[in-house]
A and B are shown apart, each in its own frame.
Chain A
Amino acid sequence: MYLLVILIPLLSAVGCGLGGRHLGRKGAGLLSSTWILASSLLSFVLCYEILINGSTVYVELCRWIESDFLLTNFGLQFDTVTAIMLIVVTTISGLVHVYSTSYMREDPHLPRFMSYLSLFTFFMLVLVTSNNYVELFIGWEGVGLCSYLLINFWFTRIQANKAAIKAMLINRIGDIGLMLAIILIWKEFGALDYCSLFSTLTPSSACTWICILLTIGAVGKSAQLGLHTWLPDAMEGPTPVSALIHAATMVTAGVFLIIRSAPFFDCSPTATIIMGLIGSLTAFFAATVGLVQSDIKKVIAYSTCSQLGYMVMACGSYSSLTSLYHLLTHAFFKALLFLGAGSIIHALLDEQDLRKMGGIIRGLPLTYVLMLIGSLSLAGFPYLSGFYSKDLILELTYNSYCLMSIYWLASITAFLTAFYSFRLIYLSFGSRPNLTRISAQHLQEADWNLLGPLVILALGSILVGYIAQNMVFAPGVRPLPLVPTIVSFAPVIMSVTGILLVLIIRPYIIFYITRPSIYGFLFYAWEFNQIANYYIGTKVWKFGHIVSYRAIDRGILEIVGPTGIALLIIERTKQLSSLQSGLLFNYALMILAGTAIALKCLT
């Protein structure tokens, strides 16, 4: 059964990928949805065993690399962290599969899409269930690959191609960090599987470097500040892809890596503080950018970026389980928001611009309710699932021994989060209609294949925070922050203020409040793309062109290599052949000289 959870998505991917033409569009959708939902049910059973009965399971599959001191096995490890991640991955993936059968109904390549989605689920499951770092790396690269394939699903669009390449390349920077971290771990500790590694772990100077490299890996995959630019661009993919990959699962792989490597971070306070700072800055940055975006999916993408910052920040205050808890709740309400946005886009005939929506509450009441639940949960409204995890993180950052600025950044972010999520609700549902007449006439709810997953996710975003807090935190382990009353009330005050502020000041006024220069600065995401392109991309490109291409490749190597040698040989052979002049006396001279030299050498 433990193996089956992982193998079913693989079977589904292979079945839909190779047999797609026999299955047809409906068949592929039905098959893959059923199988992933079966896998999801299995993972719930596993969760019952692992979390409630408390039995950790290790499965040894086979040996992979055996060389002197390097031993790497294929093995699975099912513990608390894995169980939570299993729930997240299989549930969200199953619901997204069902959702895609309706959302992508018109698409002629549905079997391929389903195959990629299932393949992604498989790699994600490999990532979360592996018992060593090398196997984790397989899953890590696999989800990167699937991300490329899925963003590039509509491969005829140039923007989709560019976004996919960008996502792949920026992830690759993080992957180099992870790879170096794995090499360093092996060099220092000689083991790569979690059990033996974490039981023999001793604080050493290498721990800081390992942690920093692991953080780089997480920064690349989880879109933290600096390497985040691929996440908004990845919204070029279909909406179910954004919901599955860029909200719930793939971007949380980086956070998962940190949670898995928590014992390392316990050994290195320096790296932990760095991570906390990166996380809080990301949360703040993404929240400010989310305030002014006009693309509905980009707003949610930046909000994902911001929430990932919260997770990393929670890891940075020595509480990786809180981070995991927020990961779980976030997966539910973020998938809900993305799929809800997909529902809006679907109803408005593929219109993504918030400025051309408004007033669609009359046509889409159910979607409105679901989006409202998601947004309230994201904003941390009391007793919804976001409230439990986000409140805990804020109190932990107040209570942690390191920098106070992290707490302030996080609090401001909580306010901004509430503001932009209700700005989204207001601009799409509340304000005066800006629709075209055609889309207003076609405005209606989609079928139940599309809305069913949303309802289930909405139930999840209401209940999961309350249910899961007893499961994630084993009895006695739960961090109980001791904070002043005002601090424990602050997040609620912040979020409610943010929500009310939207209703009071009408969000389009934000353009007039913030002067256009600041507005542009925020709209273009703090000019990060510009900075990266102008100061890094262009410089590197010029360096590559002048030094490595012109000076080395076409210069030194070409002269020492093929062209130079060819020219040299042609010259020398011309000189040599001119020795044979056809004149007899020259030959006679050569014979005599040769004889003389030979005599000199012989005697």
Chain B
Amino acid sequence: MSYLILSIIILLIGILGIILNRSNLIIMLISIEIVLLASTILLLFESRVPYTLCGQIFAIVILTVAAAESAIGLAIMANYYRLRGTISIRALNLLRG
């Protein structure tokens, strides 16, 4: 039970990090990592209870995806920094409706 609460707390921290953060794009990327970590914890916890390996397999897949995602994200960020000279999120609203 405490695992569940822990993962949910981490998930909420990650989500709030995404939503409330207004300045830094790196913090947003880290928050996404936190959300993915929380889901990994949840999957691992779920795999303990019914004694199957599915949860652990998915956890490893998520780790892989998270690594790839942060790599691509950092690449985009680096390119963006080269173009604009800043990585503030507030400066990112050029595509308004």
Binding site for B on A (CB under 8 A): 577-585, 588-589, 592
Contact = CB atoms under 8 A, between A and B. Distances in A.
A579 B97 CA distance: 8
A579 B93 CA distance: 12
A583 B94 CA distance: 9
A585 B21 CA distance: 7
Contact of B89 (A579, A580, A585): A585
Interface of B: 15, 18-22, 28, 89-90, 92-97
Contact of A588 (B18, B90, B95): B18
B19 A582 contact: no
B95 A585 contact: no
Contacts of B89: 583-585
B97 A580 contact: yes
Contact of B94 (A577, A578, A582): A582
Contacts of B15: 588, 592
B93 A585 contact: no
Given A588-B18, A588-B19, A583 B93 contact: yes
Contact of A584 (B20, B28, B96): B28
Nearest to A588: B18
Contact of A582 (B18, B22, B28, B95): B95
Contact of B92 (A579, A580, A584, A588): A584
Contacts of A578: 97
Contacts of A579: 97
Contact of B93 (A577, A582, A588, A592): A582
A563 B18 CA distance: 43
Contacts of A585: 18-22, 28, 89
B97 A577 contact: yes
Given A583-B90, A584-B92, A589 B19 contact: yes
10 A-B pairs closest in CB distance: A582-B93, A580-B97, A582-B96, A577-B97, A588-B18, A582-B95, A583-B93, A585-B19, A589-B19, A588-B19
Contact of A580 (B19, B20, B96): B96
Nearest to A579: B97
Contacts of A577: 97
A581 B96 CA distance: 5
A243 to B, nearest CB: 78
Contacts of A582: 92-97
A588 B31 CA distance: 12
Contacts of A580: 96-97
A583 B93 CA distance: 5
26 contacts: A577-B97, A578-B97, A579-B97, A580-B96, A580-B97, A581-B93, A581-B96, A581-B97, A582-B92, A582-B93, A582-B96, A582-B97, A583-B92, A583-B93, A584-B28, A584-B89, A584-B92, A585-B18, A585-B19, A585-B20, A585-B22, A585-B89, A588-B18, A588-B19, A589-B19, A592-B19
Nearest to A580: B97
A578 B21 CA distance: 21
Contacts of A581: 93, 96-97
A286 to B, nearest CB: 77
B92 to A, nearest CB: 6
Contacts of B95: 582
Contacts of B18: 585, 588
A584 B93 CA distance: 8
B67 to A, nearest CB: 21
A585 B27 CA distance: 12
Nearest to B89: A584
A586 to B, nearest CB: 8
Nearest to A573: B97
Nearest to A584: B89
Nearest to A582: B93
For B19, B89, B92, B94, the residue with the greatest tally of chain A CB atoms inside 10 Å of its CB is B19
Contacts of B96: 580-582
Nearest to A577: B97
Nearest to B15: A592
A580 B19 CA distance: 15
Contacts of B21: 585
Contacts of A583: 89-90, 92-93
A579 B96 CA distance: 9
A584 B18 CA distance: 9
A585 B20 CA distance: 7
Contacts of B92: 582-584
Nearest to B18: A588
A577 B95 CA distance: 12
Given A581-B97, A585-B18, 13 more contacts: A577-B97, A579-B97, A582-B92, A582-B95, A583-B92, A584-B89, A584-B92, A585-B19, A585-B21, A585-B28, A585-B89, A588-B18, A592-B15
A580 B93 CA distance: 10
A108 B36 CA distance: 99
Nearest to B96: A582
Contacts of B94: 582
A589 B95 CA distance: 18
